A and B are shown apart, each in its own frame.
Chain A
Amino acid sequence: METLSAEVPLPAEGLLGWSWLLIALPLAGAAVLLLGGRRTDRWGHLLGTATVAGAFLLAVLCTVQLADVEGRSVDVDLFTFISTGELDVRAGLLYDPLSAVFVLLITGVGSLIHVYSIGYMAHDPARRRFFAYLNLFVAAMLLLVLGNSFVALYVGWEGVGLASYLLIAFWYTRPAAATAAKKAFIMNRVGDVGLALAIFVMFAQLGTTSYAGVFGSVGTLAGGTLTAIGLLLLLGACGKSGQFPLQAWLPDAMEGPTPVSALIHAATMVTAGVYLIARSAPIYDETPTARTVVLAVGAVTLLIGAIAGCAFDDIKKVLAYSTVSQIGYMFLAVGLGPAGYVAGLAHLLTHGFFKAGLFLGAGSVMHAMDDSVDMRRFGGLWKKLPVTFATFGLGYLALIGFPFLSGFYTKDAIIEAALDRDDVWGWVLGGVAVLGAGLTAFYMTRLMLMTFFGRARWEPGVHPHESPSVMTVPMVVLSLGSIGAGFLLVKAFPLSDWLEPVFGEHEAEHVVAPLTVGLVVTAVMLVGVLAAWLFVGRREVPDTAPVRVSPVTRAARNALYADTINESLVMRPGQWLTRALVWVDNRGVDGAVNGLAAGLGGSSSRLGRTQTGFVRTYALSMLGGAVLVAGALLAVTSG
């Protein structure tokens, strides 16, 4: 191991030394609710909410204390996890500005969504189980962002994958939910292979997996090795964050209850990929090649998500593709390197507020519409659901980048950072991002118009009603974030100052003046709104989707055929291979060993009776197999 970085975090003191309670609290909540059984049905949801709210309070206090620590970074060493040979993995936490931001987001938005769920899940007989899984998720997510090594991150990483699986499949008697959960887990595991291999490379090259150890000796690694690590980490990030080419699971994950979509599949878990890349900044800083791939992934996903979002009639699917697209923005930002880390993370935070708010609003609409998600059977809801409409509307404006709301500041910052590259790529990426802003305005305006305006196209017997205050209060709080978070994080209390100990200082030299960028983006956004009004707002929305549509619309409705591609390239060949191998194993391997024995026995007539249980046949067959293997071993290795 080479010399460690000079900025080794200080050992934690005071309250920060107890920061492991952040993880332990919700974990204990989950354990009590799962083991307590029906006895905890009456108060289980309250306990589940209290543990996360308690964690939020603790996180606030820890962050306040952290602000006074020199270097704003502390290490909380806990115990030896795995130690054998040269491998020494200690369980420990790293509390620094980056993890502090995520902890606040997870516990803050997490608390609000727990409160909301009390109302949303009130009539579900398995509400206790729901809160247990939610608590489990919060614990795993906090481990993911607080762990001080790549192994700790990996444990949290797969932990949130499990929580996501359990929650998508929460209504597991529905085959679609069960299938979506499995799909999410499998596609995530494909990404996890990348993350695991990255960890193996780090150990093989540096003998350590801790952040301090790896980042401290990045300079000793060859360029190719760094690029390999960067690309492998990116594969993991793509799986978790639903980025191209592993994006197809995220829209299906909407089969889970809507609070899950808000917390896990919008605000927190799916942004873990962005966290991973930002956390690994010392690696990506040294490998422009890997960063370029991150940029490409972000730009491509941004467009895929935005295009697909224009075509769906399912309100949650539109929001899900919007999430895919917005995380594409974040990937694009962190792919820019030092110029973009802060911009990407600021957008991650504001997106956490307004997208969680939008999902909670969608849940409120579904609550009112007998759990329907078909926007073609909504319409005219603004009068019936005033609070939902107001909070959802604010989230909508924030997302499309309406001037001076949250998304305006953070999205523009990403576009500015892209243009600051001052090369062809900068213009291409900036152009893609601006185009994406127009598409975002289109699909979100379409959603607003179809849901809240126009003629009421409700199914017979549906009587919309506003949700109870236990649901609307969290929506109101999040809408405040939709309004002000962007201004606060970019202008009032710049996130870049807080994160300075992590990413250093970056003086932006703007190629295009921010005012110009703001005007252009706003203009493009207005074009998108106008287009939506022309196509959707001024006409009658049919109750069912038109069948005769252009190939472009058809492609968008199929999410650019991602599932079709996955099925024909991976799933069907895999099934075919599996069936072939089963046949080979039953007839071929077993039969060859038995058949060889029959041949050795000198009687070909026994071939047909190899399965009849003749002791001699079997004895000979085994001998034959053994001779075969021994001969092969000798022949191959001595040849």
Chain B
Amino acid sequence: MSDFPFLVAMIAVPAVGAAAVAALPRGRELLAKQLALGVSLVVLVLAALAAVAFDTGGDRFQLTTSVAWIPDFGVDFALGVDGIALVMLLLVGLLVPLVIGASWEDGAPGAGTVPEAGTEARSMRFFFAWLLLLEAFMVGVFAATDIFLFYVFFEAMLVPMYFLIGSFGGPRRQYAAVKFFLYSLVGGLIMLAAVIGLYVVSTSELGEGTFAFDALRQLDIDPGVQKLLFLGFFVAFAIKAPLVPLHTWLPDSAAEAPIGGAVLLVGILDKVGTFGFLRYCLPLFPDASRFFAPMVLVLAVVGVLYAALLAMGQSDMKRLVAYTSISHFGFIALGIFAFTTEAATGAVLYMVNHGIATGLLFLVVGMLIARGGSRQIGDYGGVAAQAPKLAAVFLIAGLASLALPGTNSFVSEFLVLIGSFPERPVYAIVATAGIVLAALYILLMYQRTMHGPARGVVAPPAGDGPASGPAGTVDEPGGGGATAVLTAPARAAVRFTDLSRREIAVVAPLVVLILVLGVHPQPLLDIIEPAVTATLSDLGATR
């Protein structure tokens, strides 16, 4: 079974699926959704089978495929996964079908949801086509073992995400999309320079240029050159991750992106940055990595606290969740640059867990916004009384986000902190203070939106009976697209319904994973640890 080209299939299937969905005639919205969901489920099955075929005690890179692509420059279409890439592929396979399920009724007339102020209904065919194309590129970026190929996927990811934000996002989507695109593009250009530099070094050392990861990591690069090349990669990844102070594009992008786009942006795209630290910065530039580690650690722990404080100060729920993610990326960077097995394994697990937990948080925030038509925390209050299931899922996502023991995130945050403490006690202590701030930003948001008496958009219509009306009734706010931009009084007429069966189906897998991985994370750790050990031995780390 391990001969089957899983990785090629995981790129080809969604890419072809994207073309097919886009080619559907106008008006076949339902078919487009069904096709997209089917394709993404095929990818999920492929990812699961790839995990089964993967031997945790085997070679570093498995399921490999390699064909010459641009022979003149030594560029190969080379794919392969280590444990780190494998768990990221599982995350991709998991999140995309859920995102499609969550976006099922976006843009559909009479869906019973209120469009966010300033958005308008659009053909969702292209939305789903872009999603699938993005999935193909995301698989490619994690599976590439040729640096040039990695770079191509890295840049290609921008295009579908740009359109997801720019065409289907909130009122300031143009601004956000351009900001996202330019930040990423600049990072990419700097990285391109470093990729070329690496090629030049390999030419001079090996006599023949190469982009193959396995050949490049065995180069003995001059420390000064290492520093420059490290910075080239690091800046690109630090923008993507993002680390403070290169983070300001993320709150704008995540806030304006449609919820599905925000989930993939924060859940997966940003992890390409931290994945890049581990895959490229540490093994290729070990001396430079050790040299810059203290500075990166400072950025990491400053980011943990700074972004957590900023999260507390946000009035927009999506921006708040975006800032919590920046804080969490600080933890991940701390785990990676502490150079211990426990911390780095924890960091990789953190990447997966964060995708699950923050993915769920974004999804449930999206469901709340779909009901209330506002992103402002202050427009809500007392939701729990009218939509208890939604409130329960919100709480579970929040608790996972603040790394409560029993949820998946606890294991990874605990590993990052306990693993970095022996080597970097001061940084670990400062970051540990972040757990208080995490409790604050989550519980403040939860209290303001879910607890208390009904308020703002949650208040029952004037003259109506008790707050909880018969289930299933949906108040059409005037109907038709003309009321897309709701005025405040019109919004107040919305009554909250609890989660629908579709929404429960979307959130249930994530809730189950949060609890299961919180109690039994060992299967993932067994996949991740060998890859982390190999990475740290490239680096020459002691532990």
By secondary structure, the A interface counts as: helix
B314 close to A (CB within 8 Å): yes
Contact string, B413-429, partner A, CB cutoff 8 A, digits 1/0? 01101110110010011
Contact string, A619-639, partner B, CB cutoff 8 A, digits 1/0? 101110110011001101100
By secondary structure, the B interface counts as: helix
A83 → B minimal CB distance (Å): 6
Residue contact B245 to A589, C-beta cutoff 8 Å: yes
Q: Which of A83, A174, A200, A589 contacts B248 (CB 8 A)?
A: A589
- Which residues of B in the span 233-251 have a Cβ within 8 Å of any Cβ on A? 234-235, 238-239, 244-248
Interface 9-residue window, one of A84-92, A365-373, A524-532, A536-544: A84-92
List 10 other contacts, CB 8 Å, given A613-B175, A626-B235, A633-B292. A85-B342, A85-B543, A175-B453, A179-B447, A204-B425, A577-B309, A619-B185, A622-B183, A626-B246, A629-B235
Interface 9-residue window, one of B128-136, B431-439, B482-490: B431-439
Would you mind naming 19 contact pairs between A and B with Cβ atoms under 8 Å apart? A81-B521, A82-B411, A82-B522, A85-B341, A85-B529, A87-B415, A155-B410, A157-B405, A172-B450, A173-B385, A175-B451, A182-B447, A193-B432, A203-B421, A578-B313, A613-B175, A622-B187, A625-B245, A633-B231
Q: Given that A173-B452, A175-B451 are known contacts, is A83 also in contact with B306, CB under 8 Å in the complex?
A: no
Residue contact B310 to A186, C-beta cutoff 8 Å: no
Residue contact A189 to B182, C-beta cutoff 8 Å: no
Q: With A and B bound together, what is the CA distance between A615 and B306 in angstroms?
A: 29
B291 close to A (CB within 8 Å): yes
Chain A residues with CB under 8 A of B245 = 589, 593, 625, 629
Residue contact A158 to B405, C-beta cutoff 8 Å: yes
- Which residues of A in the span 169-211 have a Cβ within 8 Å of any Cβ on B? 169, 172-175, 177-179, 181-182, 185-186, 189-190, 192-193, 196-197, 199-201, 203-204
Q: CB-nearest residue of chain B relative to A593?
A: B248
Chain B residues with CB under 8 A of A172 = 384-385, 450-452
B306 → A minimal CB distance (Å): 7
Q: Given that A200-B428, A578-B313, A619-B186 are known contacts, is A159 also in contact with B342, CB under 8 Å in the complex?
A: no
Q: With A and B bound together, what is the CA distance between A165 and B446 in angstroms?
A: 12
Residue contact A197 to B450, C-beta cutoff 8 Å: no
Q: CB-nearest residue of chain A relative to B179?
A: A618
A476 → B minimal CB distance (Å): 36
Q: Which of A82, A622, A637 contacts B292 (CB 8 A)?
A: A637
Q: With A and B bound together, what is the CA distance between A85 and B421 in angstroms?
A: 14
Residue contact B186 to A196, C-beta cutoff 8 Å: no
Residue contact B238 to A629, C-beta cutoff 8 Å: yes
Q: CB-nearest residue of chain A relative to B176?
A: A613
A510 close to B (CB within 8 Å): no
Q: Given that A82-B415, A85-B345 are known contacts, is A585 also in contact with B425, CB under 8 Å in the complex?
A: no
Chain B residues with CB under 8 A of A579 = 313
Q: With A and B bound together, what is the CA distance between A582 and B421 in angstroms?
A: 30
Chain B residues with CB under 8 A of A83 = 522, 525
B404 close to A (CB within 8 Å): yes
Q: With A and B bound together, what is the CA distance between A499 and B278 in angstroms?
A: 51
Residue contact A84 to B399, C-beta cutoff 8 Å: no
Residue contact A84 to B529, C-beta cutoff 8 Å: yes
Q: With A and B bound together, what is the CA distance between A107 and B341 in angstroms?
A: 41
B174 close to A (CB within 8 Å): yes
How many A-B pairs with Cβ below 8 Å?
182
Q: Which of B248, B295, B340, B417 contacts A585 (CB 8 A)?
A: B248
Chain B residues with CB under 8 A of A5 = none
Residue contact A637 to B529, C-beta cutoff 8 Å: no
Q: Given that A85-B419, A579-B313, A626-B235 are known contacts, is A158 also in contact with B432, CB under 8 Å in the complex?
A: no
Q: Given that A80-B522, A159-B406, A200-B421 are known contacts, is A619 also in contact with B182, CB under 8 Å in the complex?
A: yes
Q: Given that A189-B439, A197-B432 are known contacts, is A203 also in contact with B422, CB under 8 Å in the complex?
A: yes
A498 close to B (CB within 8 Å): no
B73 → A minimal CB distance (Å): 26
Q: CB-nearest residue of chain A relative to B312?
A: A578
Q: Which of A158, A173, A585 contacts B404 (CB 8 A)?
A: A158
Q: With A and B bound together, what is the CA distance between A569 and B312 in angstroms?
A: 18
Q: With A and B bound together, what is the CA distance between A200 and B341 in angstroms?
A: 15
Q: Which 4 A-B pairs have the closest CB atoms?
A: A85-B341, A622-B186, A178-B451, A582-B313
Q: With A and B bound together, what is the CA distance between A585 and B302 in angstroms?
A: 13
